[in-house]
A = this chain, B = another copy of it.
Amino acid sequence: MPVRPGTETAWLRFLRAHAALTRELSSRLEAVHELTLSDFDVLIQLYYAEGRRMRRIDLARSVLLTASGITRLLDGLESCGLVAKERCASDARVTYAVLTKAGVKKCEEARESHNADIEELFGSRFAPEEREQLAELLGRLPLSHTAEACSA
């Protein structure tokens, strides 16, 4: 079954754009705030969550990391004091990740510059209706079956 014309081009551009954008965004974020893109992604998910807290497993799913990936990523954020662990009263298996005061502050600071970077490198390339269409098209792509949340 041959690929329909255009698919290969679109896919390659998708791959390359991702590599280039994440490299640049990551390096800026790292330089200014000492956060990786994944760190920031996790912080933002927590920031928008009810009570700024989430079960670690849900956090993992929402950013498309594995359980072990989240453990290690949060290790880092915890030792920086940006995130804290909290036990769940009703189920001793689960642990919550909670944004600390410092975490909220860091998140707000980083968000400002990071969003400006995203706007510069990504958003500004498109007219408003193009951006919406792009979001719509990308929204049709399959997420991992383990993922659900894609709030923004």
Query: Which chain B positions have C-beta within 8 A of A23?
Result: 64, 144
A contact face: mostly helix, strand, loop, or mixed? helix
Query: Which chain B positions have C-beta within 8 A of A13?
Result: 135, 138-139, 141, 150
Choose, from A49-57, A92-100, A112-120, the stretch at the interface: A112-120
A2, A5, A8, A16 — most chain B CB neighbours (10 Å): A16
Query: Which chain B positions have C-beta within 8 A of A128?
Result: 4-6
A119, A121, A141, A142 — most chain B CB neighbours (10 Å): A141
A53-108 with Cβ < 8 A to chain B: 64
Query: Which chain B positions have C-beta within 8 A of A140?
Result: 125-126
